[in-house]
Amino acid sequence: MKQRLLSAIQNLSIRHKMTLLIMLICGIGLVASSLAFVIREAHGIRAAEKEDLASLAEIIGKNCAAALMFSDSKAARETLVALSAKSTIRAAYVLDGADRLFARYLSVAKGAGKFPLEMPAAPAPPHLSPAVLQKIRSEADSLPGLPGYFGITKPVVWDGQQVGTVVLLSDMSVFISHLRWTLVSTLVILAGSFLLIYWLSSRLQRLISDPVLFLSDTMKRVSREKDYSIRVVRQTDDELGELMSGFNAMLEHIELRDDQLEEVNRSLERRVAEAVAELRRKDQMLVQQNRQAAMGEMISNIAHQWRQPLNVVGGIVQNIQLSYESGHLDRESLEFEVREAMDAILYMSRTIDDFRNFFRPGKDKAVFSLNQVVATSLELVGASLRNSGIAIDLEQEGEVSAEGYDNEYSQVLLNIINNAKDALLAHGGDDPRIRIRVFGDNGHSVVTVRDNGGGIPDSILPKIFDPYFTTKEPGKGTGIGLCMSKVIIEQNMGGKLTACTVDGGAEFRIELISAVT
């Protein structure tokens, strides 16, 4: 309960908190002062009542002094009867010098019979209860058996000697009436004071809450609009004014920082754009260099492919000349030599078509046969490999297909085969050999190219796909072939190109997702 109350107070607005705080402080002061006033009034009323009672007892004592001296109890009773005019007197007793009852008066008002102060079993003449008499003489506020009554005793003196005692008992009706009126008037004043305090606090709290709420609204506006150029108008020169100035200074700092960040972002964007442009330029250079290197390799392959057909054509021309000079050239032999020459020329023409198709870029992805691409690639480089004394082992495990760009795949395959050829020629082994394997593996179409040229050292294996990295002699390698091959397989076709050293040779593994046929 206490926690919920504190939580409810904490969640109040600052206006309500300030109003509640002012009312609480003023209310505590008012209640404390009102309580002190009521207590003071109660003591004052009681003192006045006892003073009046003492004065009345002294008058009665003077009037009963002669009666006590002459033992005239009738005169004393007549004196006490005059107390009936005072409604608050409930009982009066005149005692002789031995505290024996000399005369008494009991009020005839309702409830008077409740005040038999004489001891019921006492012998005549009756005596008052010693305990009650002792309480009365000690001026106690409450009497045994008679709560809520005032009691007072006054000695009766005659010629300087005490001849008796007057005892008066008064109820508290006047005291209670005065006290009730005091309480009612105090509560009315308290209620009016609380209303006045609420009215004043609801207006005075604005001196603090209005600047704070204005600052809060400005902060919300800045947060909502993201506009740090907004400023708070300073309204006071106190701590709240200092807070507003500090808030403005913070906004200025944030605005300056945002301007600097915006400028940095613009500069960064320019630098990124320039870097991207430079990377694109370098990529274009890489592509161009790779294409030129590939063209150089293809020209070399064309030379190897055409050497045998040209030799054949040259031999046919020489045969025709020799037959003509010897006179043995007839129509049948001429037609045979022409057919042989045309077959060689057609072979060379098909070779030109194969190289032209190799450099024609594919526009759209399509399903192609890896077996066919490998066969075509080997036709292009087969003569060059045979002239270099390199054997080729081809192992195919069924028909394997994938989706991508077949010409670009051929470029990758030729790059790897040419690198294997260079490695084998540099290694100088007894039986240089390239093994190509085509197979499927868990939903992937795989081609591996392995040589026995000594493998790739572990120190350079992580770098072989980096641009411009090469282990060849200057002028013999650009260092971009494997880099472009990795880009083609992994970025353009979504596959994977890896390399490792296996059984004393390098193995390159090309993986593509198998085509669904």
Which residues does 482 contact at the CB level (< 8 Å), separation at least 6? 415, 416, 419, 464, 465
**Could you tell me how far CA 395 lies from the centroid of its own chain?**
60
CA 454 to chain centroid, in Å, comes to 58
* Final residue of a structural domain among 254, 289, 324: 289
420 CB burial (10 A radius; 0-12, 13-18, 19+): buried
Domain end call among 246, 274, 289? 289
Residue whose token pair is 């002699």? 473
Q: Give me the domain span that covers residue 465.
A: 361-517
In order along its 517 residues, the chain shows pLDDT tens digits of: 667 777 776 777 777 777 778 888 888 888 888 889 888 888 888 888 888 888 888 898 888 888 888 888 888 888 888 888 888 888 888 888 887 888 888 876 554 444 445 444 444 444 556 665 665 666 544 444 456 677 788 888 888 888 888 888 888 777 888 888 988 998 998 888 888 888 888 777 777 777 777 777 777 777 787 777 777 777 777 777 777 778 788 878 887 887 888 888 888 888 888 888 887 777 666 656 655 655 565 566 566 556 656 766 777 777 777 777 777 778 777 777 777 777 667 766 666 665 555 555 555 788 899 999 898 888 877 777 888 888 999 999 889 999 888 878 888 888 898 888 888 888 777 889 999 999 998 889 999 999 998 888 888 888 888 877 777 665 555 667 788 888 888 888 889 999 999 888 899 999 999 876 5
Are residues 231 and 194 part of one domain?
A: no
The number of folded domains in the chain is: 3
Is there a domain that residue 356 lies in? no
- 226 - beta bridge partners? none
Note whether 270 and 140 are same-domain residues: no
Question: Is residue 372, in this structure, part of any structural domain at all?
Answer: yes
* Same-domain status, 174 and 248: no
pTM score, whole prediction: 0.41
Q: Residue 391 falls within a domain, yes or no?
A: yes
Distance of CA 89 to the CA centre of its chain: 80
Report the alpha-carbon distance of residue 193 to residue 190 in Å, rounded. Answer: 5
Going by C-beta distance under 8 Å and a sequence separation of 6 or more, which residues neighbour residue 119? Answer: 126, 127, 128, 129
Of the candidates 164, 149, 168, 153, which has an alpha carbon nearest to the alpha carbon of residue 101?
Answer: 164
Q: What is the DSSP letter of 167?
A: E
Residues 184 and 57 in one domain: yes
Same domain, 244 and 143: no
191 and 230 assigned to the same domain: no
User: Is 513 a member of any domain?
Assistant: yes
- What single-letter amino acid sits at 167? V
Q: Name which of 167, 53, 169, 152 is nearest 112 in CA terms.
A: 169
Token couple for 217: 């609204």
In order of 120, 315, 361, 413, 417, the CA distances from 374 in angstroms are 141, 33, 17, 8, 11
Domain identity same for 160 and 236? no
Is 350 inside a domain boundary? Answer: no
Residue 450 lies in a domain: yes
Same domain, 492 and 375: yes
What does the pLDDT read at residue 132?
A: 59
